[in-house]
Amino acid sequence: MTAKQTETMSVPVAVQSPNIPTLDIPLDKIVPNFDFNSRRAIDVDESGRTKDELDEAGEKPKGKWTRTYKGVDEMVGSFQAHGQLQPIKVRPLPNGGGNYAIIFGFRRYMAARALGWKTIKAQIESLDDKTAHTQNTVENLIRESLTPYEIATSCLKLKREFGITGADIARKANRTKSYVNNLVRAAERLHPVILEAWGQDHPLTGDVNEMIKLAALGGEAATDKERHRLQMEKWEEWQGHDEEEAEGEGESTPKTGPKRPNVNRLKEALSAVKSAEKSKEWKEGAQAALKFALGVTKTIPGVYDPDAKDE
């Protein structure tokens, strides 16, 4: 799909506002909330590389970190070639002051800012949280610009916070009900360590059908604890197979155990486990998985202390 096609794809009927005028809104009046968007944000340094890319290259970040999205560079190219062909949608912030929050169009906003534009074409509509979140997810779904992980987690958020079912989203976004429901169940049931790996595009999570099958291990009657145990066993099996294939290609990999995990990712995961307001079973499962991963990589100072008490 070309840059022009990406920008000119029709806005979904479910989020169109034909009776609302399109205005030029100053960029400095728009406040982006990255946690609101159904698309997963990434942090890049001044060279445009993520933490993982820098870790793999063994390099330190340059300058300050900037939060952005994949695909913004392509959107910049589209804007340079064709201008902004479709407006974003914003809603007034409740505190007033003439500022706005983005409902959808985050990448268009980021592209305009990268180009140094002073204003952006936008529609203004006062919407409650439920309607705004729904429009954000549906707009991105119809543009086919969300990953399976992003669909799964954004639809699960709509279900938990607003009671919106996968069937409701599927109907509005012209997707099959079974596809959306399967992804939502995967986000609900996957072990948090595996779910995080999926969100980080781990090589073993590339097949969405396998992720759905992994989430279904143990059947409907299984408890979360039993389901997570089966999932981690399968996950470790996948990692072992992945290493065997790498060894067959002549790469230097460990003889046993999973590949060496990313240290920064483990630190973030351990911090999330300690701070999450989850059940005792959830914490124990996540901590056990982290302990296993760290145990096979010897000692990583500052990440896991086997003598430390749980906080």
Q: Assess whether pLDDT exceeds 50 at residue 226.
A: yes
Query: How much is the pLDDT for 303?
Result: 41
What does the mean pLDDT of the chain come to? 77
Long-range contacts: 74-77, Cβ < 8 Å, 24+?
A: 74/3, 74/6, 75/3, 75/6, 75/7, 75/107, 75/108, 75/110, 75/111, 76/111, 76/114, 76/115, 77/3
94-147 pLDDT tens trace: 876 789 999 988 889 989 999 999 999 999 999 998 999 888 888 878 766 678
Domain 1-143 falls under CATH 3.40.720.10: no
Total number of residues shown for the chain: 311
Q: Assess whether pLDDT exceeds 60 at residue 42.
A: yes
> Rounded to whole angstroms, how far apart are CA atoms 246 and 201?
19
Query: How much is the pLDDT for 24?
Result: 94
Cβ–Cβ < 8 Å for 140, 169: no
Three-class secondary structure of residue 38 per DSSP: coil
Cβ–Cβ < 8 Å for 140, 39: yes
More confident residue, 156 or 35: 156
Query: Beta strand 100-104 with 88-92: parallel, antiparallel or unpaired?
Result: antiparallel
Closest to 108 in 3D by CA, of 27, 46, 23, 42: 27
Name the pTM for this structure: 0.57
